[in-house]
Amino acid sequence: MSLASRLLTGLTLRLARRFIVTRELSTHLEKPVRLLLPLLGLQSVWLSAPDDLALIPIARRLTGILILVCVTWLIMRILRALEQTILLSNPVDVADNLRARRIQTQTKVLFRTINFFVLLIGLAAMLMTFPAARQFGASLLASAGLAGLAAGFAARPVLANLIAGIQIAVTQPIRLDDVVIVENEWGRIEEITGSYVIVRIWDDRRLVVPLQYFIEKPFQNWTRRNSSLIGTVFVWVDYALPLEPLREELRRLCKDVPELWDGRVCVLQVTDTSEKSMQLRALVSSADSSRNWDLRCHVRENLIGFIQRQYPHALPQLRADLSVGQKPQVDMRTPEHTEPERQPPV
């Protein structure tokens, strides 16, 4: 049997080199098949042996359990091979990877959920080979009221995350490599497991978030439909600054960095005023959030430098009336019995 399994595996590998599906299946199934075939042959020997042979029931049960383990392992490896095939067919290392990220997210979450159920069914099948386990299961079914309530309450976090994983796979509020803001932290979705999500923060920290969080609480997803983004730059200036030269400078700054600016939005507006200065807001767009951050820093630094060079008097200034607070001139000819001097209002 071992020789037959090796020959079968070698032949399959040779025929499957040109196809992704067969290559992945043959690679992932090599070890479980090599173990399963000898176990099946051994079990056929035990079943054909006389029932009164010494230790034959134990040998049959032990071999049957090992066969169930191998079958469970084989099914999980098949699922893993199919998952790898889908992932390899939809790479994310391309310019427009929105569709690939959506497919990869659905694939990983759904296959992990299926793996969980396969493992659960396999363990249940192994337990059912023991008569005591069957009796235990019957007693549980007989007292399903209290036992079911206790089991459901104990397994509530696991089941909630499992259901949340299915919801995320279907509705996809997040996908792999999405840019999100969670708990006031900016980062990218690095990994989605069966119970939690790993968010890689901009400074290389990892934020571990339960799956339920993305179903029950609000968060920001900057790449839900596409990765393009509009950023803002605020500058406070004096009222003496002319706006048209600054608008021309903003357009020039954006055109100078085509690798950062995507050509969609480049606007300068007065958005607020106070008794001392006015607030200018520059809107600039980029293909993704990382480029937009660099573009905003570039625009902010150069606008400030332009104002300093061309209109230094237009930087925010504090104005004051120096005559306020000074004592008025006293006419020495005023009679002494006049009213006393009064201070000006503060």
The pLDDT of residue 344 is 37
CATH of domain 128-225: 2.30.30.60
Domain boundaries, the chain: 2-89, 128-225, 229-314
The pLDDT of residue 253 is 95
pTM score, whole prediction: 0.57
Model confidence pLDDT, tens digit, residues 95-139: 667 778 778 888 888 888 888 888 888 887 887 777 766 665 555
DSSP string of 227-285, one letter each residue: S-EEEEEEEEE-TT--HHHHHHHHHHHHHT-TTT--SS-EEEEEEEE-SS-EEEEEEEE
Task: Mention the CATH class of domain 229-314.
Answer: alpha beta
The pLDDT of residue 107 is 84
The pLDDT of residue 158 is 67
Rounded Cα distance between 294 and 272, Å, is 25
Query: What distance separates the 2 farthest-apart alpha carbons in the chain?
Result: 141
The pLDDT of residue 343 is 39
Q: Are 9 and 36 in contact (CB under 8 A)?
A: no
| CA proximity to 2, closest of 24, 43, 33 | 33
The pLDDT of residue 212 is 87
Specify the DSSP element, H or E, that contains 3.
helix 2-15
The pLDDT of residue 280 is 95
Low-confidence spans in the chain with pLDDT less than 70: 1-19, 95-96, 132-158, 318-346
Strands 266-273 and 196-201: unpaired
The pLDDT of residue 180 is 93
The pLDDT of residue 260 is 94
DSSP secondary structure letter of residue 217: S
For 48, the token pair is: 């054909």
Rounded Cα distance between 268 and 147, Å, is 66
